[in-house]
Amino acid sequence: MQGNQLGVFVDGRPFGPEEMQRLAREMNLAETVFVLPPNAGGDVSVRIFTPGRELPFAGHPVLGTAFVVGAALEADSVTLETGAGPVPIVLERDGDRIVLRSDATTHPHLGSLRPDRRAA
């Protein structure tokens, strides 16, 4: 296994911001994401926390959460509403496995994703 661990609460509705921060601190992972209902036309809204603070955006948790949401929705693409705006992610399946497409939408915070950097 490669990369940082990521906590994803697939239903963040029961938690307020203080509880989200406390849970992120207790989990002590680089980032913890709380998935919420969409507000602005995306598939879901997300809140991203480190053990010390909330982040408006971070690439690793956005990509990891896109995989979780895409698998749950059986979708080829998802749009995550972040504190930095909506982030569309194009997904591709290799059998039952989701992979990030090499031509995924370029986003100001993600940059351009190279074809040889596929996520698993």
Which positions are catalytic? 31
- Classify residue 10 as left (phi > 0), alpha (psi -120 to 50) or beta: alpha
**CA distances to 2, 27, 34, 59, 106 from 55, in Å:** 23, 16, 12, 11, 20
- Per DSSP, the residues of 12-33 read -TT--HHHHHHHHHHHT-SEEE
